[in-house]
Structure 1
Amino acid sequence: MKKRSQGATKGQVRQRAKVTAKELLATGGGAWKTTSSLGDYLEQVSRPAIENAKLRPNTQTRYLLALGQLAGDCKAHSHADSLREHSIGSGTRFRALEACLKEVAKLHGTESARQARSVLSKYVLQQLNRDELIQGSPLAGMSIDLTSAKPAARKRGGQALTKSEYSAVLDFLLGLDPAEGQTKPSRGRWSLADRIAKRRNAVELTLLQATTGLRVSEANSLTWAHVETGDDGTLHLGVTAENSKTHRARQVPVLDARVAERLLTRQNSAASSSAYVIGSPADQTIVWNRDNCQKSTTALYLELSEALDIALLKTARTHLWRATLNSLLLDQVSEVVRAAFFGHDTAINRAAYTDLADTSSMVTAARRLRAV
C-alpha cells in the first residue's frame, strides 16, 4: 500500500510517514484509525451495535442514554471529560475513560455511571477490539470509585397514598371529562381531537395503573388481545414474559369495577385486537412515545395534587400505585400473593412452593376496601 506524506522538512516527512506506517500495520488499512474521532466511532459503530442487539426495549433505551452520557450529549450538564472530543487513541487510555465515568457519576449518579461502564466495555471497547484498534480492555481488572456522587437512597418500600387519598384520586379521575378545558391549537399539525385523546390517554393510563399496579412499560405494552373477562366478570390483563420487567408472565385483575367498565368502553372503539389498550393518542396501533407519555402523566399528577391537595403527587409518579396498593392490602393479602400480583422477585422457597396463580383474594380484598 502506497501512501504519500508531506511536511515542511525531510525530518517532518519521515516522522509523519512512520506514524502512518505504524497506523496501517495496526489497523490493516481499515476505515478507522487510532487518530479517528472517538465521537464518530460511538455514533457510527457503537450506536448501531446497541440498536441491532437483541435487547428488551427499555434496556436498549437505557443503553443508548448511557452511550449519550459517555459522548457528553446532555442538555442539562456540560461534560468536560466526555469521549466525543477524543481521538480513538487518546480516548481509550485508562485515565481518559476513568475521568469520563467519574464525570457521569458526578452529574448523573452512581447507577448511571455503572450502566455507562457496562456500555463502554461491551459496545465501545469490544467493538474497537474487533476492529483491531486496541488490544484488550483498558478497564479490565481496574477498579474505579463511582460512588462519590451517589444519590440519596430512596425511602425503603416507596411512598404510598392513604386510603382516603387513593379513593379521592379514583373518584376525581372517573368523573373527569377529557374534553373539558381543551381548546383548539392555534397552529401546528395537532387538532383539538388529538389534544382530547392525549388527555384521555393520561387519565385512563393512570386509572389502569392505580387499579392494577402495573409498571408503566407493562401498561403501555398491553394490546386488547391481552385482555380477558373472567367467569366472575373480573377483567384480567395478561402481562407477557417479554413485557414483564422480571421476565415472568402473569395475569393481573383490574381491582375496581368502574375502571374495568371504562376500559371495556375504550375497547369498543378499538380498531382490532392488536391495537394497544393505551396506544399513541393519534394512532392506537402504535406504542405511545415514552417521553410524551411521561410529560402527559406528569401534568395530570400535578393537576391532581393541586385539585385534591395531595402533596405527594407533586413528586411521586407511576410507581406510586404499586406502593399504594401493596400498603392498602398489606394486612388482607399474603406477602407471597402480593409479590406475584405485582411481578416482584420473591424468595426461592416462596416462588417454588407456593401456588401464585390464584389472585382472587386480591379482587375480594379490593372490593372489601370499597365497601368499608
Structure 2
Amino acid sequence: MQNFPINPIPIHEFSTGVVLDKSTSGDNIVSLSQKWMNISFPDEKIPHSIQRAIINQFFVATGTEEEPTIIGRVIPGIDGNWSVISINNLVKTTDGESIPVSRFFVTLGNTLENLVNWVQSQYLLLDSYPIWNPLRPLEKTRNQLFLFSQDQLFLSQQFKQEYNQKAKENTPIILNEELPLTTVYQRAEYLAKLNISPLAFAYQAVNLKRCRSFHLIHTLNEGNIREVISREHLGINPNIIVFDEDKIKVLIKRLIHQEAFSLTALNAFMREVIESGLPQQYWHKIFDDFGASIALTKEIAPPSIIKLLTLRCLAIPETEQELIAWIGKNRSFFNTEVYNSFRGKLLRNISSLYGNRFDLFSLDDQG
C-alpha cells in the first residue's frame, strides 16, 4: 500500500487533562483534572459536536499500558462533519493506580481515512501509536499538514455477502484476528456505506461503552465485548450520535412554558434537531410525552399546546400538514395570535442562527 501526500489539511488535537506534581525527582501524575490539555484548535475551542459525543460516552474506551484502544468516528455538526480518532491507554499515578487517558486527533470533513493512514504511518515510523503520556515530551501536530491517498481494499464476494447480512442485524461486527488498523477501517467503511450512517469503529478494544453504536469492533477480548453488547439496550440505533432525552425535554419545557422567550433554549434545541441524528420515531415519542398526539384529538388549545405543536414541526417537518389540518377544523378555539407570535420569534431567531434552512407556515397563507 502506498501513501503519498496530495493536498495539505490541518490535524487538530487535544488530550485528557491530568494533575502533575512537580518535584525535585521529576514530574509525577497525581490524578485526572477536569480540563483538556494540549488543545491546538484556534482559541482552544473544541467543536461543540465533538464535546457532545465525548460527554455522551462515544469515545469511552480502556486500552492497556502496552496496547492502546483506538476509536475512529465521523461526528456530524452544524458547520460540517468532523473526523475524530481517540487513542486510549492507561498511565500510572504516584499511588500506583492505573488511570485512563486519551489523545484526540481531529480533521475537518469526511477525512477519517486520511487520519487513519496518518496514525498508521506514525506507528510504522515510531513502532508505537501516538499515545498521550503526560510524563513524556509531547510532539506537536499543530503545524503538520497532510492528506494521503491509499489503495482500495479488495473485498471478496463471500466477505461482502457475510457483511451485507450482518449489517441488517443492527449489531457491530466483531473481529478478533490480527489485522492492521487500516484494514479494520476499510471494513468498517464498507459497513457504514451499507447502513448509510456516520462511520464508527474500534481497534484493539478491551472495554468499550456504546458498543452498539459501532459498525465494527476489533478486540483483544471478544468475550468481554460480547457481554457488554448483550447488556446494552437493544433499541440503540447505530446512526445515533447523541441522544439526551432529559435535556431535550427540559429545553421544550422552557420554550413552551416560560413567558419570556429563551434564545438560549432555542439554540440548544435546534442543535439537538440538527446534530443528534434522532430518527423521527424518537422525536414523536418525546413530543407525545408532552401530549402532542392527544392534543390533536381535543377541541382545546392552551398556549403551551400551540407552542408544543409548532415546535414539533421544526423537529418533524412532516407534522406541519397535520397541524394545518387541525387548525383548519378548529378555527373557533385556536388562538391565532399565540401561534403567530411564537412562530415569528422562532423564525427570526433561527434565521439569525442558521439562515433560511427552516420555515413554518403562516396562518395568513391558509385563508
TM range (shorter): under 0.3
Which structure has the higher relative contact order (CA within 8 Å, separation 6+)? 2
Larger Rg: 1
TM-score (norm 2): 0.23
Higher strand share: 2
TM (norm. structure 1) is 0.23
